[in-house]
């Protein structure tokens, strides 16, 4: 596992917030918004979760997965370092402001943005109801170039953790890995997502 060398948690938070506020990223996402909403909806339906489920989307950025979840489940809320009302509320994936067992499904495609993978998974497990499901969309990379700081001292791209395999992720949690599958939806692949891990409590 490769971890970015942030000098402090405060630097990490500031850097990740800057990524969420990038106007180029917002414009790119909005151009493909409905296409991404449809892709998330198809994914949620494929999980076979009851329609009465409560869903949490972590790192939901501009809320496409939340919009999709609202059409599939009884409730769905997104959380990110920068709010995107009314779909996404402000929050930290390492310290979720939800009660224990609040959700039947927790979805994330941003574990590569976690500062501490174990803390992130501990929070997902805490808010997950008994018998619930955690779904993680991610990618694996074996060769990683160290991120270089810019001349002004700032960091470039926003990836904080890169895992080499599913085993590295499963070691960070106590959930049972139900299945691992390749992501074939072109919309998600274009967004950099290659692997889906499905965990059960």
Question: For the chain, what is the domain count?
Answer: 1
pLDDT of amino acid 26: 74
Classify residue 55 by burial, with Cβ atoms within 10 Å: 0-12, 13-18, 19+. Answer: buried
pLDDT of amino acid 73: 98
Question: Domain of 37: which CATH number?
Answer: 3.40.50.150
Averages of pLDDT over runs of 10 residues in the chain (201 residues) are 87 90 76 91 96 97 96 98 96 98 97 95 97 94 57 64 90 92 87 90 89
pLDDT of amino acid 147: 52
pLDDT of amino acid 155: 57
Residue-range definition of the domain harbouring residue 196: 2-200
pLDDT of amino acid 146: 54
- Is 109 within 8 Å of 193 (Cβ atoms)? yes
pLDDT of amino acid 43: 95
pLDDT of amino acid 111: 94
pLDDT of amino acid 90: 98
**pTM greater than the 0.85 cutoff:** yes
């Amino acid at each position: 596992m490769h971890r970015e060398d942030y000098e402090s948690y405060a630097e990490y938070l500031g850097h990740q917030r800057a990524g969420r506020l990038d106007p180029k990223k917002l414009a790119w996402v909005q151009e493909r918004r409905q296409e991404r909403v449809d892709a998330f909806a198809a994914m949620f339906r494929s999980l076979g979760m009851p329609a009465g489920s409560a869903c949490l989307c972590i790192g939901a950025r501009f809320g496409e997965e939340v919009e999709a979840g609202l059409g599939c489940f009884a409730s769905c809320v997104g959380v990110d370092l920068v709010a995107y009302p009314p779909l996404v509320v402000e929050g930290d994936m390492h310290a979720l402001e939800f009660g224990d067992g609040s959700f039947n499904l927790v979805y994330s495609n941003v574990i590569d943005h976690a500062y501490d993978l174990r803390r992130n998974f501990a929070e997902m497990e805490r808010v997950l109801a008994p018998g619930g499901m955690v779904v993680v969309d991610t990618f694996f990379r074996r060769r990683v170039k160290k991120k270089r700081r810019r001349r002004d001292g700032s960091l470039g791209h926003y990836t904080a953790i890169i895992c080499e395999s599913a085993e590295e992720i499963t070691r960070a949690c106590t959930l049972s890995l139900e299945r691992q599958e390749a992501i074939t939806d072109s919309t998600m692949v274009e967004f950099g997502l290659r692997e889906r891990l499905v965990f059960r409590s």
